[in-house]
Structure 1
Amino acid sequence: MKATIVRIVLCLLFFGVVAISPANAETIEAEISAETAILIDEESGRILFEKNKDQPMRIASITKIMTAVLALEHGDLEEEVKVSEEAVRAEGSSLYLQAGTKIPLEDLVYGLMLRSGNDSAVAIAEHVGGSLEGFSIMMNEKAEQLGMNNSYFNNPHGLDDHEQHYSSAHDMARLMQYAMKDEQFRAISATETYKTDNPAEDWNYEWRNKNKLLTSLYSYTTGGKTGYTKRAKRTLVTTAEKEGDRFIAVTLNAPSDWNDHIRMYEEGFEAFDTITLAEEGKQPLVQAPEGKDVYLHEAIRYPLTEEERKRVRQAATFHSPRERRSEHEERVTQEVGHLTFELDDRTIARSPLFEEKQLDQQEGWRDRIWRMIRSFME
């Protein structure tokens, strides 16, 4: 069946806030202390403001966002990690771990993100990657997977011991956007103080987050990671949420990074409003060629200025059905097309359209067997 295109020309009119003007954007850029910076929408990845966003830079301890992501994806937080001599010898910020002690991976990740422990970073890398070299390979594979084309990782902590260790503001925003999809990462990143047992001493660990935007300076902050080395200078990645808008800010080599982030957030929250372009579920304004109902499995949301909302157009494209089965086989779906939203002839959002059938209505032989097994076991 050839692709059938149904165009539904809708002008989405909403009420909203004042947009950032080009002149104001130039003013913001001039006032941002960072050599490179970016503000993006967490959900869609849309760039809301940028300054030299793709310039490769030293990144210091915001490297540890990648280290935390790999620890969560490839490790078990309840596993105990044996601290090596090499981990204890790591320079710079430290959790003051002792060689030979065993510490839960969860505690090490909290210490990594809140207190930026370089000893913790090495211990995690050795445990998850088998060695520092093996972990670096994992870091670069993940960077490639995420499209971080201006990045290369040579260690798990960001210290200035390798010339070939760098990233860009845009790449670090991509990484943080990916990381924030993980519930455990979000919880760790948002933690202000963490207390845990110390297996080597009579006193217990208590780590307070170094992210001052989170702990005191900006009430809308939801997480982030700080960084500093003599060569990289101050680096910072943060997240913030206000009235349903969720943004990510990154600054590299920023003498006044706290103020840079607050300025970008305030301008972004004023200029953009995250709009629900299409709700999850049945799409009453979209009809398949055969007249069947079509559905979205997730709502489509996108940040827009007031003027942009007036220029958004919606289009539905259909193709031959493609069967999809949910992870736990609770439902089978037929992907029949896509719902697309365009702004000034540029695609800003695209999501599959489905015809849906519940398996309890069309139960297959495998489902009947599993149902019989579960009934027998009960």
Structure 2
Amino acid sequence: MEAARTLFAWGANSYGQLGLGHKEDVLLPQSLNDFSCKHQNIKSIAGGGGHSAVITGAGELFVCGQNKERQLGLNHTEDVLCFTSCTALSSVCVIQVACGWDFTIILTGNGQVLSCGSNSFGQLGVPQTSGGCLIPQKIESLTEKAVNVAAGLRHALAATESGVVFQWGTGMASRANRASQGKIIPSFLTAKEPCKVTGLEDVKVKKVTASSYHSVSLTDEGELCVWGSNKHGQLVSKETFLVEPQKIDAHFFSGEKIGAVWSGWTHVVAQTAAANSSSLPPPSRRLSQIRRRKKKTQDEMFSEIMESSRSDRAHLNEWKETVSKYRKEASEREDRRDQREDMRDQREERRDARDERWRQEDQRRQDATLGLLREQTDMLRRLVELQE
């Protein structure tokens, strides 16, 4: 029988995304005992910009946190401080959930993909719904059975049973356009509904992951294909932006195949297929090895632990202040960077809108000029007819 799993949460909690029933930041891990006792078979967890999601072994989806953009799929827009069941999905089995910045992508047991939350950049894959979705909506245009999904800042991915990858959401488009310097970029970077990612025709993808402005796919051969922003070197390329997938050479991983991959905001973590935690000795054996190596008695070890605990308690307040200050500064830096990127995107959108207005105004002037010329021509024709 599998042992019960307990959820722990800590960190920023401005929207109740930790599920602890309040909005105070938490510096040390705290257990969600009530939720863990009621739902012991926790299958997976995910976190977005300000919301969190949990899937149980029974395929139930629980969500909490920020809900201003309807990202929790609870048919309202109020923040939720405790993990709450997504009742709109009570009749389906959820096998995976991916949380974007302000939206959520859900994969069901029958391979269907649903989405809810903000759709400002087409990240929900349902272009007919411009104002976002209060409850999860099926992405009808994704007709192939999906096996894996991912959500980035403003874009999403799905890998299908046949190994094809689809992408939607325009979050990467502005950076792609700047990097391409006027060249046409692939349609999947500007699509607001699932569009096949080109450049992966020779591989079969089994897993995808997404981040702020980059995407990663893992093939059935244990290879990684990456595309998007390489501003921080996360794609192992000399280019600043890869508009199409590029394979990372296996020699970077000592020739080993990759078994799992995850994306952070601007970094990537991969695990080789050979990695196996079962190769570690059990805790009792490790403790025995430590005792023999250091030749310490149980009393000496206990004294050392107690002394360490006293020292830790003495510096706890200082540590809290340091962590709080660092977290605040990091959050402010991240916010400033996001604001700069948003302002840049907004400037480009305003410029596009201005160009469109000018084009329409030019068209109106041309139409007015042509109309005037036609009227003058008609007048001249009538004058000629009268003189005749």
TM-score (norm 1): 0.23
TM-score (norm 2): 0.23
Greater Rg, structure 1 or structure 2?
2
